[in-house]
Amino acid sequence: MTTEPQGVLIVDLGTQYTQLIARRVREAGTWCQITIPEKALETAAGMNLGGLILSGGPSSVYDEDAPEVPPELLELDVPVLGICYGMHWMCRTLGGSVVPSETREYGRTSIRIMRSEGLFAEIGGHTVVWMSHGDSVERLPEGFETFAESEDCPHAAVANGDRGFWAVQFHPEVSHSVRGREVIDNFLGRICNLSGDWKPGSIVEREIKKIHEIVGEDGEVVLGLSGGVDSSVAAMILHKAIGPRLHCIFVDNGLLRKGEREAVEREFAQHLGMDLRVVDAGERFLGKLAGVTDPERKRKVIGYEFVEIFREEAKAFKNAGYLGQGTLYPDVIESVNVHGGNTAVIKSHHNVGGLPDDLDMELVEPLRELFKDEVRVIGRYLGLAREIVDRQPFPGPGLAVRIVGEVTAEKVSLLQEADAICTTEIEAAGEHQGLWQYFAVLLPVQSVGVMGDNRTYESTCALRIVESSDGMTADWGYLPQELLQRISGRIINQVRGINRVVLDISSKPPSTIEWE
Ligand code: XMP
């Protein structure tokens, strides 16, 4: 008998929303895993399975290259929720029929709930949902009934309640489906009878147990601490598990935000009493970056140097056979690649998770099964300082990718000052709520200004204020005019070397969030 928490298996059939489904399930306090159809039976066998969700996907069940889903999934004796393509596959496999819809339904649609039971318990009447389909179910399999309809889709939700088979044409996982969260909660709570006990306390306990299993009674772990949320929370969990047998290395690459190194030392060494080794490598990084202006080259130089330094420093811990990393679940999920081919490299991302295999250390990854929002929740639960838990994402190459052109010590210090003003003013005004990132960028543009009676010829800084939910797409964020005035006034008056501030009003795509 497995000691795993009881959970749901989500089979990815190619939709872009699979991770969203998993996040909704986790938010409801239920443990879940994502897998591809080929591995679904094997993964289900290794879980304490309480239910199954079959995701949507871009294919038609009649396509030659449609994902092949093992029909045995419907014989696992657990409730199943099929969403869009998952619905089509389920209904067709059980003897129903699926046809191309006469009218394609995309986006916001109103459905009428005909029976407020099961998936729709306490949800009745009309509700707005998000649709995105070309096919729809025409003839129901035996034992199925219709629970909801829309104008163009007579079977918007169907079920065989006795067998626990439910299927919806709409996407309950997206926030545009107004009662979608309740639909998922009903599936988990009322249909699967899952108790919603996947909470920070049990997550931490489970990870600590796994760490003990890996490192044993006397194993020692080295962890690269970046000061970002992921490595910080990984350090907290590891420290709770093995105390002084955790050794953290923090590389100060001279490209950090103002006060960042001090905040890390304060929190981890002084407050939490961890063994923290701070490597003062600013000059070394700046030396390697001298004359480098190409953004990709900068990223490569910094990534390489980081690995070299980490390798050298890790040698000091001779007994440490384990390497801690803050790898997250989205980095390890296997997904169905429906489009094939390679995606273009826009930027070569670097973070401390990207250490090479040849360090010859066994990996310990306490966040490997968690999403970013869960990591923050756990950070708060473990009492990690707010300034670290709520920190904005910060690129591994640091301020180097926010200084357009060559990086020098003078430019770093100009940008640190301007950025600190931008950040503190936005936070003091409470305008950071709802923003993904807000920072300053130093441009290789000098312009003429006048201060008192004197002419100035100094640098320009741009403010980058963005809204986003995952960094993949973003829009520029709106700030009140008085706040922008205050930020610009303070930067120009207080940062010697900057005499002009501009506002970046570009969305991603086609721009990116960082300038390099
Ligand atoms: P872009 O500039 O690609 O950034 O639109 C998307 C998000 O990723 C962050 N970013 C990085 N994060 N290592 C990281 O860990 C990196 O090298 C890196 N580059 C960009 C960026 O801050 C934004 O949130």
Q: Where are the domains of the chain?
A: 6-191, 200-389, 408-504
- Those residues whose C-beta lies under 8 Å from the C-beta of residue 76, and which sit 6 or more positions away, are 44, 49, 52
Tens digit of each residue's pLDDT, the chain (516 residues): 446 789 999 999 999 899 999 999 999 999 999 999 999 999 999 999 999 999 999 999 999 989 999 999 999 999 999 999 999 999 999 999 999 987 777 889 999 999 999 999 999 999 999 998 889 999 999 999 999 999 999 999 999 999 999 999 999 999 889 999 999 999 999 999 999 999 999 999 999 999 999 999 999 999 999 989 999 999 999 999 999 999 999 999 999 999 999 999 999 999 999 999 999 999 999 999 999 999 999 999 999 999 999 999 999 998 899 999 999 998 888 766 654 444 566 777 665 556 676 778 899 999 999 998 899 999 999 999 998 998 899 999 999 999 999 999 999 999 999 999 999 999 999 999 999 999 999 999 999 999 889 999 999 999 999 999 888 889 999 999 999 999 999 999 999 999 999 999 999 999 999 999
95-135: per-residue pLDDT in tens?
999 999 877 778 899 999 999 999 999 999 999 999 988 89
Per DSSP, the three-state class of 432 is coil
Atom 9 of ligand 1, residue of closest alpha carbon: 395
**What atom of ligand 1 comes closest to residue 397's alpha carbon?**
17
> Distance, CA 504 to ligand 1 centroid (Å)?
17
Task: Identify the pLDDT of residue 253.
Answer: 97
> Distance, CA 265 to ligand 1 centroid (Å)?
24
460 lines ligand 1 (CB under 6 A): no
Atom 21 of ligand 1, residue of closest alpha carbon: 395
* Peptide bond connecting 295 to the previous residue in cis, omega within 30 degrees of 0: no
347 lines ligand 1 (CB under 6 A): yes
397 lines ligand 1 (CB under 6 A): yes
Q: Nearest Cα to 306, choosing from 267, 348, 338, 345?
A: 348
Strands (E) in 29-124, as ranges, are 31-35, 48-54, 80-83, 97-113
Residue in this structure with the two tokens 């918007």, named with its chain if needed: 156
Residues designated as active site: 84, 171, 173
Task: Identify the pLDDT of residue 346.
Answer: 72
Residue in this structure with the two tokens 């928490």, named with its chain if needed: 5
Q: Which of the four CATH numbers 3.40.50.720, 2.60.40.1180, 3.90.700.10, 3.30.300.10 does domain 408-504 have?
A: 3.30.300.10
> Distance, CA 256 to ligand 1 centroid (Å)?
15
321 lines ligand 1 (CB under 6 A): no
Atom 23 of ligand 1, residue of closest alpha carbon: 471
| CATH 3.40.50.620 assigned to 200-389 | yes
pTM to 2 decimal places: 0.88
Task: Identify the pLDDT of residue 2.
Answer: 47
327 lines ligand 1 (CB under 6 A): no
The angle formed by the CA atoms of residues 287, 415 and 469, to the nearest 5 degrees, is 110
The yes-or-no answer to whether 200-389 and 408-504 have a common fold is no
Per DSSP, the three-state class of 186 is helix
> Distance, CA 466 to ligand 1 centroid (Å)?
13
508 lines ligand 1 (CB under 6 A): yes
Task: Identify the pLDDT of residue 342.
Answer: 45
Atom 8 of ligand 1, residue of closest alpha carbon: 471
> Distance, CA 349 to ligand 1 centroid (Å)?
7
**What atom of ligand 1 comes closest to residue 515's alpha carbon?**
2
Residue in this structure with the two tokens 């706040």, named with its chain if needed: 483
Per DSSP, the three-state class of 290 is coil
Task: Identify the pLDDT of residue 351.
Answer: 57
Q: Which amino acid is at 144?
A: F
What class is the 6-191 domain? alpha beta
300 lines ligand 1 (CB under 6 A): no
The first and second tokens of residue 357, run together, are 């295999």
Instruction: Report CA-CA distances (Å) from 259 to 28, 252, 388, 389.
Output: 37, 11, 12, 16
Task: Identify the pLDDT of residue 379.
Answer: 97
> Distance, CA 298 to ligand 1 centroid (Å)?
14
231 lines ligand 1 (CB under 6 A): no
* Peptide bond connecting 366 to the previous residue in cis, omega within 30 degrees of 0: no
Atom 19 of ligand 1, residue of closest alpha carbon: 395
432 lines ligand 1 (CB under 6 A): no
